[in-house]
Amino acid sequence: MKQDLVYLKRNVVPEPLFANWYAWSHLISPATAAMNITDRHLKIMGSYIQAPQIHAAAVKNPKMLGGPFMDFEGQSKVDEVKKLKEDTLNDQHKMIVFSEAIRTLNRLLMSEAKGYSLDDLYEKVPEALKGFVELYYDVNNQPGFRFFESLLYNSEYYDDSYQSINLYLITEDERPFVLSTPRLDDDKILSLNIPLRHEGIDELFKMQRTPNSYTRIKEMLQVTPEQEHLFETFFTEDAPVPYGKYEGDGIRSRYFGHACILVETKDVSILSDPVISYGYDAEISRYTYTDLPDEIDYVVITHNHQDHILFETMLQLRHKVKNIIVPKNGGGNLQDPNLKLMFEVLGFKNIIEIGEMDKIELPDCTITGLPFLGEHADLDIRTKLCHHVQLKHLSVLFAADSSNIEPKIYENVHKMVGDVDLLFLGMECDGAPLTWLYGPLMTEQLDRDKDQSRRLAGSNYEKGIDLVDRFNPKEVYVYAMGQEPWLNYIMSVKYTEESNPIVASNKLINECKSRGIFAERLFGEKDTLYNNNLEVVETN
């Protein structure tokens, strides 16, 4: 570098990896990671090695989008995948044993826990699981077990030496779907063998705003001389456009795409479900990392799906986020990892767990957790919350992907929070079947028709309009539709005008408009300024 004091470019991706696979939340929590290694990664690798041409054809078919097929953009990578499979079988041996132990314990409970005391069964718990599980019956005398997840994070089953970061420059929206394709060596990618909690990541991303020493960051990240020619290209001497902090007396709401919305007053900033685009020339205009404040007071997370918790985004924000509000965990079920523990092991600070109707009270602002229904294929997953945010006089309901299955629940909620001014609602009403996300965790095979009936689906028109009737919003925004092209790598939706989510949300928007309610399906970007009388004073 000519100059030592440099900025980080705004299109540097820190791709988080776990043993060469894109690190989403189920690869961080030890038990779900073990199950995904055996039942997702090893299976996809085996299938690719046997018939790479089927994978190459499937990824070209839009109907197969998001399916268990590797996308190497037309190249054959059989030898590399064979090697990765071998490495996985060796390096992840203890995780494979651990996942087999989970299945064995489940079979043991099904065959031997018949209503008598479970004390004697502890002896038969597979060795790999001993000391990490509690056995129980529910009140219907059905047996089950739960993990002591905090103990697992302190065991050999959480080994962050398998984590790494791929740094590279991104220049377009197109990226392969990350859940099905492992990351192989590529000369445009700089691989850093550092865990996701590494402080160098924070120092690196601070440099998007504040210039710092190139030599210092190179040393912090342990960049080798061979990597340096690539590493250099991530930096620039040009300062970014400074951030325009909101200094008015009202409220500014800024949509970044999907379920990511920043609401700000001059005193407080709240960012929901951060998933943010990089800065590069693109047809569809969008807000990017440079449109965020230098400090974010609260990040609020609604639920544990990869389009709502994206570590790739969270890592870039870690140095500027003061508090993270996560939904309270159910307490050790395999399918329901604890988000507080997860964020903590990844180096995030001040994680606040809140439950349903719990409140966080700040000056001029109250955040309340609300019940989140459905969208989790009827699995017992508690780590999900909608949010009610009362910001000055503005009352906002962020309903995320909640599916209003039982309107009486929101009738009860309405009695406590009252009408709202703004309703944000996800209407991905088709959703994927259970196995798409949770398949690797199922210890018993689910019949296809049952799998198809249990979906990760949000509200349809009827469920959505019931929320409108109930909460009487002045403005309705359909969001979290996965339509922004920069989300393709974590989503698998491509809609047409005939797709159910589009038909249903059009109908809801038209109905709202006919009632004189402002309504819109968000796409790309939107900024709205409200004054203290809740009048929209500016929008773009």
Cα 430–Cα 29–Cα 259 angle in degrees, nearest 5: 40
Of the pair 336, 401, the CB lying nearest Fe ion is at: 401
Of the pair 42, 399, the CB lying nearest Fe ion is at: 399
C-beta separation of 306 from 314 below 8 A: no
Q: Which residues lie across from 167 on neighbouring strands?
A: 14, 190
Compute the least distance from the CB of residue 191 to Fe ion, in Å.
30
Query: At 256, which helix (H) or strand (E)?
Result: strand 251-257
Phi, psi dihedral angles at 203 (to 5 degrees): -65, -40
Of the pair 103, 382, the CB lying nearest Fe ion is at: 382
Total of chain residues touching Fe ion, rule CB under 5 A: 2
Q: Which of residues 97-116 bind Fe ion (CB under 5 A)?
A: none
Of the pair 39, 401, the CB lying nearest Fe ion is at: 401
Compute the least distance from the CB of residue 340 to Fe ion, in Å.
19
Compute the least distance from the CB of residue 426 to Fe ion, in Å.
7
C-beta separation of 317 from 291 below 8 A: no
Task: Specify the stretch interacting with Fe ion by CB under 5 A; choose among 52-60, 94-102, 305-313, 415-423.
Answer: 305-313
Binding string to Fe ion for residues 389 to 418, with x set by CB under 5 A, is what?
A: ------------x-----------------
State the residue number with the nearest CB to Fe ion: 305
Closest CA to 494 of 430, 420, 438: 430
Compute the least distance from the CB of residue 424 to Fe ion, in Å.
14
At 269 the three-state DSSP class reads strand
Compute the least distance from the CB of residue 317 to Fe ion, in Å.
20
Compute the least distance from the CB of residue 431 to Fe ion, in Å.
8
Of the pair 205, 311, the CB lying nearest Fe ion is at: 311
Strand segments (E) across 403-474: 422-426
Q: How far apart are CA 313 and CA 289, in angstroms?
A: 9
Tokens of 467: 């929320």
Task: Specify the stretch interacting with Fe ion by CB under 5 A; choose among 238-246, 303-311, 384-392, 444-452.
Answer: 303-311
Task: Specify the stretch interacting with Fe ion by CB under 5 A; choose among 97-105, 128-136, 237-245, 299-307.
Answer: 299-307
Q: Which of residues 112-151 bind Fe ion (CB under 5 A)?
A: none
Task: Specify the stretch interacting with Fe ion by CB under 5 A; choose among 63-71, 297-305, 508-516, 528-536.
Answer: 297-305
Of the pair 353, 401, the CB lying nearest Fe ion is at: 401
Compute the least distance from the CB of residue 456 to Fe ion, in Å.
6
Of the pair 264, 401, the CB lying nearest Fe ion is at: 401
Per CB under 5 A, the list member of 40, 55, 258, 305 interacting with Fe ion is: 305
Compute the least distance from the CB of residue 132 to Fe ion, in Å.
28
Closest CA to 150 of 31, 259, 51, 295: 31
Compute the least distance from the CB of residue 373 to Fe ion, in Å.
12
What's the burial of 500, exposed, middle or buried (CB within 10 Å: 0-12/13-18/19+)? middle
- CA neighbours closer than 13 Å in the CB half-sphere of residue 282: 19
DSSP character at residue 488 = T
Task: Specify the stretch interacting with Fe ion by CB under 5 A; choose among 61-69, 217-225, 300-308, 312-320.
Answer: 300-308
What's the burial of 233, exposed, middle or buried (CB within 10 Å: 0-12/13-18/19+)? middle
Tokens of 403: 């599916």
What's the burial of 483, exposed, middle or buried (CB within 10 Å: 0-12/13-18/19+)? buried
Residue labelled with tokens 């500027």? 320
Compute the least distance from the CB of residue 452 to Fe ion, in Å.
18
C-beta separation of 258 from 286 below 8 A: no
Note whether 463 binds Fe ion by CB under 5 A: no
Contacts of 139 (CB under 8 A, 6+ apart): none
Provide the binding-site residues for Fe ion, judged by CB under 5 A: 305, 401
